[in-house]
Amino acid sequence: MKFSFKSVALIGKHKSLEVAAPLLRLAKFLADRGLNVLVDNLTAEHLPVHPYPVMNLDEMAAVADLAIVIGGDGTMLNIARVFSVHHVPLIGVNQGRLGFLTDLTVENMLEIVAAMLCGEFVVERRLLLSARVLRDEVEVFGGLAFNEVVVHRSQISSMVEFEVRIDGEYLYNQRADGLIIATPTGSTAYAMSAGGSILHPGLDVLELVPVCPHTLSNRPIVVNGSSVLEILMHRTGDIRVRLDSHTSFDMQPHDKIIVSRHPDYACLLHPVGHSYYHTLREKLLWNQAF
């Protein structure tokens, strides 16, 4: 896979004052190398005066050859959903906490970005999810998820009751606080907290993880990434479907959620030598001696 980088979009963590200095340092670094630098309009609100064009995310995604995100995994999730449908590769600079998706640091970003601009990088494609809500067979909501699609109840409502089908075949009826449908990327997020397995991001699979199921025999299950999942709501109360913590929709009884693999992928660029297992050891503290 070959890339030609001419225009680079820079996006910082939302409402972060600390992002200004490293972002402008990176912008000058890129501009000095003859690249066209574009700055996200929300990020620009927290920057001093600068000479770079300001655009919203959709405008940048339509013209950029590369996006560099300075922030945490939450920032990267939001940006990936916009840029992936335009096939724009992403580089993440970690300024958050865990940083599963943002593997550069503010300290080493200039050195590593310089190497990556010269073609020294590893390309990784990450699966995305498409979710649609049908009400009386009419689509009333739709969106894209990088980590997960979650059906969940509010703190005051009773358990949600739903039916799950995979490729049209009945799997189970369930009473629970909710259900997580996670990509391999999302397996280290909410799904892991709810007892799901960690999935290597290179796998073409989806994971269904019940949230506090009424019946303890309802366990997480991993299915083929090409599967079409249907969740039919029998009892809802105050229930929502949520995509990556960024988008949500209020459900009604008999609504149907259809989740499937999105035709596009998120394209992440990593430094040479990147290892997912090293990331797990570092972020989950598996390398600590006892």
Q: Is residue 1 part of a domain?
A: no
Let me know if residue 235 belongs to a domain: yes
Residues 174 and 252 in one domain: yes
Q: 101 and 133: one domain?
A: no
Helices of type H across 38-92 = 41-44, 57-63, 73-83
| 222, 164: one domain | yes
Which domain covers residue 32, as residue numbers?
Answer: 7-119
Confirm whether 143 is domain-assigned.
Answer: yes
The 10s digit of each residue's pLDDT in 177-186 is 999 999 999 9
- Residues 35, 64: contact at Cβ < 8 Å? no
5-17: pLDDT as tens digits: 999 999 998 888 8
Task: Give the per-residue pLDDT at 156.
Answer: 65
Answer yes or no: do 106 and 160 share one domain.
no
Same domain, 75 and 173: no
DSSP string, 12-29: E-TT-GGGHHHHHHHHHH
For residues 30 and 101, the answer to whether their CB atoms sit within 8 Å is: no
Query: CATH number for the domain including 77?
Result: 3.40.50.10330
Q: Which two tokens stand for residue 38?
A: 């574009």
pLDDT of residue 3: 79
Does the residue 286 lie in any domain? no
Q: Which amino acid is at 152?
A: H
Per-residue confidence (pLDDT) for residue 61, from 0 to 100: 96
Domain of residue 206, CATH code: 2.60.200.30
Does residue 36 sit within a domain?
Answer: yes
Chain Cα centroid distance, residue 279? 17
- Residue ranges of the chain with pLDDT lower than 70? 1-2, 96-98, 155-157, 236-237, 289-290
Q: Where are the strands (E) in 136-168, listed by range?
A: 138-145, 148-153, 160-166
Count of domains observed in the chain: 2
Residue 279 falls within a domain, yes or no?
no
Beta bridge partners of 230: 165, 258
Residues designated catalytic: 73
- pLDDT the model gives residue 290: 60
